[in-house]
Structure 1
Amino acid sequence: MEIINVDARTWELIMKRIEALADKTEDLCRNTGDKSLKKWLDNQEVCQLLGISKRTLQTYRDNGTLPYTQINHKIYYRPQDVEQAIDKLKSK
């Protein structure tokens, strides 16, 4: 393990910058509203809402009908995107 010494003034500057970054992040999250994945839907929830199979959902992702976000191997959908997809499907 390597030990690094930092003088007190430098440490205070680093901490102030970290706090400023945290404040900016909080402001951005507050302005955008949804700051967690709790409001996002997973594959199973979307299939149930749309009344479709997982394979059909895969087709919607592939052809761009339904936007999604992938984190690691898990796929999430914004509720408003699912609502738009429902509207598109109804109009066909």
Structure 2
Amino acid sequence: MEFVGIEKQMFEEMVRKFEQFEQKVMEICNQRNDKKLNKWMDNQEVCNFLNISPRTLQTLRDNGTLSFSQIKHKMFYKPEDVQNIAIRIKNNPHTTKKRV
């Protein structure tokens, strides 16, 4: 693994520019009234919907069974992907452990 060091000032400038970019993207989404991200599900919603534990959800992510998008440190899931997993669990309930 290769590490690249940068000066603190350069890093802070990169973070500032990324935050500006993030703000612009959110402004564009709001202008277009395109709030599809609000329709996406977060970890808690998926766990409740599938009746699984957070650890089981992590396993589904780790093994590629359930695709996700990550923004900062928060995971988001397309409802249709979650619905497909629900169908698979219904057809084969031994694929995941149920939350107690």
SS at match of 1:41: coil
Q: What are the within-5 Å matches in structure 2 for residues 1-92 of structure 1?
A: 35-92=35-92
TM-score by length of 2: 0.56
How many pairs are equivalent?
Answer: 63
Distance 1:59 1:83 in 2: 17
Coordinate RMSD, CA, aligned = 2.1
Distance 1:85 1:42 in 2: 15
Larger radius of gyration: 1
TM-score by length of 1: 0.60
Gaps of 5+ in 2: 1-27, 93-100
Distance 1:74 1:61 in 2: 13
Runs of 4+ deviating beyond 4 Å = none
Gaps of 5+ in 1: 1-24
Q: Percent identity of the aligned residues?
A: 55
